[in-house]
Homo-oligomer: A and B are copies of this chain.
């Protein structure tokens, strides 16, 4: 697994420090702890479940990571000045301080906030728990949302590898889409290939739908077996290296699909190209939506296009910028975005999707999986 760099984490913390004038930042969202320290924390990993906090003293830049004692080894991988492991349960030492992991976390974090003697605290609304000594708080959610849009070099390294892993999954899925195969067979083929491509297990989520559900666009895989003449939509967004690539292909089980399905395939590729043509710094996000929709309209599919034309991605998604009519956002250098035209009707249903980096002179397409309908 590639990792964020200490320099990258330091630079991101510096951008936060320059953006918000508080004495102490208390970061609790695991995605942001990863963003600022390089320590990837997923709630699925038992030892990482629990309350963690990254304290950043604004004046000194000094960083303290508080995690519970079962994460000892991992916590020390974080790029921080100090790690404090609070007591809870330690199956190794055979000690049980309290069965209440979360109460223990509030007490430990509260103690360090108090000790820091900060007047004004920057916190993430919705994340910092009640019960902490924060008299004077400034919500930094909007600042973080904006900072995250501008991807740094170490982030792009991780995203590029994540995209390659997702491409490996798509190749395996495409080969597995056959009459008689189930949606879960395709999911398993995708997941196994992605794991092998990375050399470790990724968390995979996505739409894996065939038959009637493909005509509606999405859903988790089931044991439904597919038949000749149908299509399967695979829209995969695994967590790889802490980042989430997100791209889609629709593949015919056999070439004998409906005429509308074939027409739609051309329309989607045209619409994707229309969106791509606008991908550069300064373009209003709503214009990207309008361009994709207009091209689908040219082909007669606009009224069957029920969702966004794409969105930003990175540590999660959907995130800013959002390609919808009501967005006031504008594309900027360093945005990583997806375009995903799709349309769904009585005898057709398909979506294709690629990921892009917004560059000075336009864009770089990051994903290179096959999106042609007929295999």
Per the 8 Å Cβ criterion, residues 295-310 of A in contact with B are 306-308
A99 with B322, Cβ < 8 A, contacts A130-B128, A308-B91 known: yes
> A268: shortest Cβ distance to chain B, in Å?
17
**Residue of A92, A96, A100 with highest tally of chain B CB at under 10 A:** A96
Give Cα A45–Cα B123 distance, bound, in whole angstroms. Answer: 25
Question: Among B92, B124, B131, B200, which residue has its beta carbon within 8 angstroms of that of A306?
Answer: B92
- A-side residues, CB < 8 A to B, are 29, 43-46, 49, 51, 89, 91-92, 94-96, 99-103, 105-106, 123-132, 134, 137, 139, 141-142, 145, 184, 187-188, 191-192, 195-196, 199-201, 203-205, 220-223, 237, 239, 289, 306-308, 311, 316-320, 322, 324-329
> A50: shortest Cβ distance to chain B, in Å?
8
The answer to whether A184 touches B200, judged by C-beta atoms less than 8 angstroms apart, is yes
The answer to whether A91 touches B200, judged by C-beta atoms less than 8 angstroms apart, is no
Give Cα A327–Cα B46 distance, bound, in whole angstroms. Answer: 20
A129 with B131, Cβ < 8 A, contacts A94-B325, A221-B200 known: no
What would be 16 A-B contacts, judged by CB atoms less than 8 Å apart?
A46-B237, A91-B322, A94-B308, A95-B325, A96-B322, A99-B145, A99-B329, A100-B145, A103-B126, A106-B125, A129-B129, A131-B137, A184-B195, A187-B201, A195-B221, A199-B223
A318 with B89, Cβ < 8 A, contacts A43-B43, A100-B142, A102-B124 known: yes
Give Cα A158–Cα B7 distance, bound, in whole angstroms. Answer: 47
The answer to whether B184 touches A89, judged by C-beta atoms less than 8 angstroms apart, is no
Give Cα A134–Cα B125 distance, bound, in whole angstroms. Answer: 15
How many copies of this chain sit in the oligomeric assembly?
2
The answer to whether A89 touches B322, judged by C-beta atoms less than 8 angstroms apart, is yes
> A148: shortest Cβ distance to chain B, in Å?
10
Question: Among B94, B96, B100, B223, which residue has its beta carbon within 8 angstroms of that of A125?
Answer: B100
The answer to whether A141 touches B195, judged by C-beta atoms less than 8 angstroms apart, is no
Closest-by-CB residue of B relative to A193 is B188
Question: Among B94, B125, B188, which residue has its beta carbon within 8 angstroms of that of A103?
Answer: B125
Give Cα A188–Cα B96 distance, bound, in whole angstroms. Answer: 35
A322 surroundings in chain B (CB, below 8 A): 89, 91, 96, 99
> A273: shortest Cβ distance to chain B, in Å?
21
The answer to whether B222 touches A99, judged by C-beta atoms less than 8 angstroms apart, is no
The answer to whether B134 touches A130, judged by C-beta atoms less than 8 angstroms apart, is yes
A49 with B316, Cβ < 8 A, contacts A129-B130, A322-B99 known: yes
The answer to whether B199 touches A188, judged by C-beta atoms less than 8 angstroms apart, is no
> A208: shortest Cβ distance to chain B, in Å?
8
Closest-by-CB residue of B relative to A107 is B125
Question: Among B45, B184, B326, which residue has its beta carbon within 8 angstroms of that of A95?
Answer: B326
> A300: shortest Cβ distance to chain B, in Å?
20
A221 surroundings in chain B (CB, below 8 A): 195, 200-201
A239 surroundings in chain B (CB, below 8 A): 44
Give Cα A192–Cα B130 distance, bound, in whole angstroms. Answer: 41
A223 surroundings in chain B (CB, below 8 A): 196, 199-200
The answer to whether B307 touches A141, judged by C-beta atoms less than 8 angstroms apart, is no
A134 surroundings in chain B (CB, below 8 A): 130
A324 surroundings in chain B (CB, below 8 A): 89, 91, 94-96
A307 surroundings in chain B (CB, below 8 A): 91-92
A327 with B96, Cβ < 8 A, contacts A44-B205, A188-B192 known: yes
